[in-house]
Amino acid sequence: MASKNLQNIILLYKIILICGLCLVYSKAELQRFEHPIKPDGSLSILVVGDWGRRGAYNQTEVAAQMAKIGDQVDPDFIISTGDNFYEDGLTGVDDPAFEESFSNIYLGPSLQKQWYNVLGNHDYRGDVLAQLDPILRKKDSKWLCLRSFILNTDVAEFFFIDTTPFVDKYFNNPKDHKYDWRGVLPREEYLFNLLKDLDTALKESSLDWKIVVGHHTLRSAGKHGITFELEERLLPVLQENNVDLYVNGHDHCLEHISSPDSPLQFLTSGGGSKAWRGNVRPWSPEELKLYYDGQGFMTMKLTKYDVYIQFYDVFGNILHQWSRSKGLYFV
């Protein structure tokens, strides 16, 4: 009888646990935004990452080149791949670093478009909720930052993913750093819900291009290299759902790696300010299409049938370009 009661208690606990997960999952569903494309059916984007240093380490020079190229390509919006404010994020919504590293730096007319931002590991070292606070949008209307969200356009769907909580060392060996895990704990529950939401959203997507944006590297010949937690948990979701591009920062370089076993391309745009000269790991030349260990940024142009990528250095020179048409792969 006691054994049967124990079994009933265990069963009840499992039911409560499952229901609890369902409640958390329903609250964790990814928020969606819509962004129009141009009348000709195209979409142009600037991509920059690892930038927020109050103009130092050539951040101002990169911003100036972004503005010049922006005048040519007329971006519909700008993507930031994270590490928005160094070294330790923002101290709060009134931190002057917001203006000194963002509003006062990206001044060109072509940069006064909507910025869609993800968080990086350095952002988690400060008041992480400050970057998510609507007060910053009131200070500068082009700022929009969430942990994870979906951006719909008529030609492509963008899935912005919060990658920092995946990385074990930030929890197990933070060294002298303090990370703001409000809204993330319990961690495994958070990651389970995020991957579930992403998988569901990717499966439901009917658009021609699927692009996932995160801060951390999946494939990289740079200093940080492969983020093994993402390789184990995120990469299978991308491959199963035929994602076209994974766009990231984290390594302070510009990089294009082609997947050997799928159409998935890995694009690193982390050259917004401080670069790591000489930090390059050996990589297969058949896969490594670009590695540049300096500052710069990336542009993307998409139509229903084509995607066109260009990488620029801090002087505005084109370092690399790549294109793909649906059904035809150019590598």
Which one from 35, 177, 216, 224 is the annotated catalytic residue? 224
204 CB-near residues (< 8 Å, 6+ apart): none
Is 224 annotated in the active site?
yes
pLDDT for 270-312, tens place per residue?
999 999 888 889 999 999 999 999 999 999 999 999 999 999 9
Beta strands in the chain (DSSP E): 31-34, 43-48, 77-80, 114-117, 143-145, 149-152, 156-160, 209-213, 245-248, 254-258, 265-269, 288-292, 296-302, 306-313, 318-325
Going from N- to C-terminal start, the domains of the chain cover: 32-325
| Residue 76 assigned ligand-binding role | no
Best CATH choice for the domain 32-325 from the list 2.60.40.650, 3.40.830.10, 3.60.21.10, 3.90.1530.10: 3.60.21.10
| Residue 180 assigned ligand-binding role | no
Query: Between the CA of residue 182 and those of 17, 18, 250, 305, what are the distances in Å?
Result: 21, 23, 22, 41
Q: Per-residue confidence at 320, pLDDT binned at 50, 70, 90?
A: very high
| Residue 250 assigned ligand-binding role | yes
pLDDT for 141-160, tens place per residue?
999 999 999 999 999 999 99
| Residue 215 assigned ligand-binding role | yes
pLDDT of residue 327: 59
Instruction: Give CA–CA dist 127/108, Å, rounded.
Output: 28
The H-assigned helical ranges of 74-214 are 97-98, 128-132, 134-139, 169-172, 187-204
Q: Report, as an integer, the average pLDDT of 28-56.
A: 95
pLDDT for 198-243, tens place per residue?
999 999 999 989 999 999 999 999 999 999 999 999 999 999 999 9
Phi/psi at 130 (5° precision): -60, -45
- Token pair of 128 as six digits: 């992480």
Question: CA quadruple 236, 237, 243, 246: dihedral positive or negative?
Answer: negative
Eight-class DSSP state of 37: -
| Residue 50 assigned ligand-binding role | yes
Name residue, tokens 């569903």. 29
| Residue 121 assigned ligand-binding role | yes
SS3 100: helix
pLDDT of residue 117: 98
